[in-house]
Structure 1
């Protein structure tokens, strides 16, 4: 008896088989369609304004400071990809207060130290994309990316297959980084 999984099994009407394997990632369609992007630049629609109102685990917050916080990127480039966001809804780096600028810089340093201690990356990409044309997915609320990098993490899969494999669930990554963050652990 033959099953649909046998190598010799052919599904009628699907055309000629090719040499490609398929890695199905249907969860990515939300990001591709922009379903979580705010409809406007107002604070009401801003995910970076809503996240601090959530429980840390639900919002993927790793650490809360006085005027800024560290949160996992919902659509990470690599495992441990953090965003450092001011609590205040502000779009432009030049509009940050001195306290916001200082704490974003300090949280960036803490993020790098914490990720290094936990996952041993070979390097980091740090950056702020100012404006949609510069690549900011949510341009209305400033956020700095802290992306851990490892040798060989940019293999053929994202380039050819437009797919990124993630070795750990976001909730597990959040727990691990929050526990290792310097100071008192957050809830």
Structure 2
């Protein structure tokens, strides 16, 4: 496993620790430390979707690269396997995308759906683009499409009552699995 700074470490079993069991369930989401440490601010004016392609696939959580667009895991996912499809070119809205970009975004989305079905055995998928900050886009300046796998049993009280999303798998583990299952171009 990797820590938030990318250093390798072994997961430590907890059965040897001195502790008194309690009724609490723990949600381990170490990737969120990046967000917490930045207090919700990236600390940079650089567009993360323009920066990502210059990083290694592991660092950027990229699962596939095309000619005009690429696919990466959402750093702050709604569900495990929550993917984003982004054009390389910095455009804000779908109507600004070229025909080649639109075609590849669509093609990568179809492939992502197939790969997610194979790797996560999801029951459905939410696909969507929020165009503009007022429409809910977290990064309104760079077009990106969300692909969110859904399962019949994936709803619980956490998001509604506690404002918390339980993610059963680490991002790096999910990225490796999806990237390995992605068909060769």
TM over 0.5: yes
Q: In the TM superposition, what whole-angstrom CA distance separates every residue of 1:71-100 from its partner, at most 9, and x where no partner exists?
A: 000000000000000000000110000000
Partner of 2:73: 72
Question: Please, what is the CA RMSD of the aligned residues?
Answer: 2.3
Please tell me whether Structure 1 or Structure 2 has the larger radius of gyration of its CA atoms. 1
1:62 aligns with 2:68: no
1:127 aligns with 2:128: yes
Contact 1:86-1:142 within 8 A present in 2 as well: yes
Partner of 1:118: 119
Matches within 5 A, 1:23-102: 23=26, 28=32, 30=35, 33-36=39-42, 39=45, 45-102=46-103
Partner of 2:15: none
Aligned counterparts of 1:6 and 1:112: Cα–Cα separation in 2: 40
Contact 1:37-1:137 within 8 A present in 2 as well: no
How many residue pairs get aligned? The number is 165
Aligned counterparts of 2:28 and 2:169: Cα–Cα separation in 1: 15
Aligned counterparts of 1:37 and 1:135: Cα–Cα separation in 2: 21
Partner of 2:181: 180
Aligned counterparts of 1:107 and 1:177: Cα–Cα separation in 2: 13
> Which blocks of at least 5 consecutive residues in structure 1 are unaligned?
8-19, 40-44
Q: Secondary structure at the match of 2:119?
A: helix
Aligned counterparts of 1:4 and 1:177: Cα–Cα separation in 2: 37
Shift, 1:152, TM fit? 2.4
What is the TM-score when the length of structure 1 is the normalising length? Answer: 0.80
